[in-house]
Structure 1
Amino acid sequence: MFEFITNNEDRGQVGIGTLIVFIAMVLVAAIAAGVLINTAGFLQSQAEATGQESTDLVSERIDVTSTVGIVEDSGIYGQTVGDNPQNLSQVRVGVTAASGADQIDLNKTTVQVVGPNGQATLTFDDTADGSYGDASGINSGTFAIQNASGGYISSDNAVLNSSNSFTLVFNTNNEPLGDGEDASTGGVLFGESESSSLDIVSPSGATTSVELTAPDLFSKKGAAVRL
């Protein structure tokens, strides 16, 4: 009724072979599980990073509240303005943080400008000199920032959040709004009927686009006109 194995050597060989196959299967399964766990962890990290970047592109954005140009007045930029001003002495763009945004470091914010005299990427300059009462102290390739009181701010205070607002100030004598030449010797400023576009890029890469178009006629020196 029952078959007995009396050969001990044959019985041991069968047991060892089965054990070897079993151990190999366990090792393969363990390696496969390790690979799957590592891959899943990597994909999770990538998904979280991508999700955060996508969220920042939407929320860490700079909103534009106003775009204003200041008509040239007598004596600015070393030239005398007649009764019929034809240029803007500065462009002013009011900005706030978008709803839900955290603190935005304007030191790392850039403005890509396409104007009548080409294109350029401008960076924040906290050394702007406002003692002349205009934007002539803003260096080429840069923009300045003013607070709500009209004072130029330093890099330490250039942080935009939900509780404050700033004004980006552009020197219209600098390229690409102007031609970069000294206005007293015939340099060209941003003038009547001219247009320009600004792309304000936050540190997270979120971009806010602004179109500027000057009125066809400036009627009053020193006046603020909507762009």
Structure 2
Amino acid sequence: MFEFITDDDGDRGQVGIGTLIVFIAMVLVAAIAAGVLINTAGFLQSQAEATGQESTDLVSERIDVTSTVGIAEDGDNPTNLSAIRVGVSGAAGSNQIDLSTATVQAVGPNGQENLVFNNTNTSDQTVNNATDIQAGKFAVQNSSGNFVPASDAVLNDDERFTLVFNPEEAPFGSDDGDIFGQGDQSALDIVSPSGATTTVELRAPDLFNEGGEAVRL
């Protein structure tokens, strides 16, 4: 009536339990690996989308330089500039670009400066000409020649602007009375809010002919 379990039957049972344990372990490892792969794929997708958007912004928010002009100071024999003017526009296909949040990394005869937007018509600062622009800053003029506040300094398909720099302030000029003038050179990196950079070189002529004239830089 009773069957006795032999040693061989016991060994087979232990092997079966061991196989089941190994199978369960393999399933758990596979599930964990699948979860890691899914999370990694999601992270890589998000990173790729962010990188793609940044790359698009670098192209679509690039600032083009259309002109570089200096205004010779008044007088019969001018040697310095009273204003440095850099015409800018949005690159082809660009979105609106807020110039008030752009920066200009300038290197000139008197060092290096990171210049930021100089707001106009505020309670403590009114900009009527280039020499009113504060140290470490630049101003923006519209196509009518008016200095504009931050809210209006936005490049688009219909508007062109001019970045205006004070040749008496560093890095163009210095506190010792140096003013950017004949034969001087400077380099500007105009950085849009998205980080797109446009580089321009400024080279003043060795001789200015007439006070108040516009000279190409």
Deviation at 1:6, TM superposition (A): 9.2
Q: Paired residue for 2:192, among 198, 202, 206?
A: 202
TM-score by length of 2: 0.87
Where 2:40 maps in the other structure, the secondary structure is: helix
> Which residue of structure 2 aligns with residue 167 of structure 1?
162
Asked if 1:144 is matched to 2:134, the reply is no
Paired residue for 1:113?
A: 106
Identify unmatched segments of 5+ residues in structure 2: none
Q: How far, CA to CA, are the matches of 1:188 and 1:20 in structure 2?
A: 84
Query: C-alpha root-mean-square deviation of aligned residues, in Å?
Result: 2.2
Q: Deviations over 1:123-157 (max 9, x none)?
A: 001136344xx311111110000111111111111
Aligned-partner Cα distance in 1 for 2:175–2:214:
23
> Offset of 1:62 from its aligned partner?
0.5
Task: Give the Cα separation in 2 of the matches to 1:180 and 1:152.
Answer: 25
Tell me the residue number matched to 2:28. Answer: 27
Structure 2: distance between partners of 1:68 and 1:221: 14
> For residues 70 and 12 of structure 1, do their structure 2 counterparts lie closer, same or farther at Cα, with a shift above 3 Å needed?
same
Give the superposition deviation at 1:199. Answer: 0.7
Hey, what does 2:213 align to over in structure 1? 223
Instruction: For residue 151 of structure 1, give the secondary structure of its aligned residue in structure 2.
Output: coil
Which deviations, in whole Å up to 9, do the C-alpha atoms of 1:145-172 show, x marking residues without a partner? Answer: 0111111111111221222111000011
Name the CA distance, whole Å, in 2 between partners of 1:213 and 1:161: 28
Q: What corresponds to 1:178 in structure 2?
A: 173
Separation in 2, partners of 1:12, 1:104:
75
In structure 2, distance between residues paired with 1:12 and 1:122 = 81
Alignment of 1:1-227 (within 5 A): 16-73=17-74, 81=75, 83-127=76-120, 129-131=126-128, 134-181=129-176, 187-227=177-217
Q: Give, in whole Å, the separation in 2 of the partners of 1:116 and 1:17.
A: 81
Aligned to 1:184: none
* Rounded Cα–Cα distance in structure 2 between residues aligned with 1:72 and 1:129: 21
Structure 1 residue matching 2:59: 3-state secondary structure: helix
Asked whether the equivalents of residues 197 and 209 of structure 1 are also in contact (C-alpha less than 8 Å), the reply is yes
Amino acid at match of 1:37: I
Q: TM-score, normalised by structure 1?
A: 0.83
Residue 12 of structure 1: how far off its partner (Å): 6.7
Provide the C-alpha distance between the structure 1 equivalents of 2:99 and 2:4, rounded to a whole number of angstroms.
88
Distance 1:6 1:99, change over 3 A: farther
Q: Residue type of the partner of 1:46?
A: Q
Distance 2:179 2:16 in 1: 94
1:76 aligned partner: none
Contact 1:193-1:216 within 8 A present in 2 as well: yes
SS state at 1:136 partner:
helix
In the comparison of the two structures, how many residue pairs are matched? Answer: 208
Q: Counterparts of 2:57 and 2:199 in 1: how far apart (Å)?
A: 17
Matches of 2:195 and 2:145, distance apart in 1: 28
Superposed CA offset, 1:75-130 (max 9, x none): xxxxxx4x111111000000011112212121221111111111111000113634
> What are the ranges of 5 or more consecutive residues in structure 1 without an aligned counterpart?
74-80, 182-186
SS at match of 2:132: coil
Deviates more, 1:193-202 or 1:100-109: 100-109
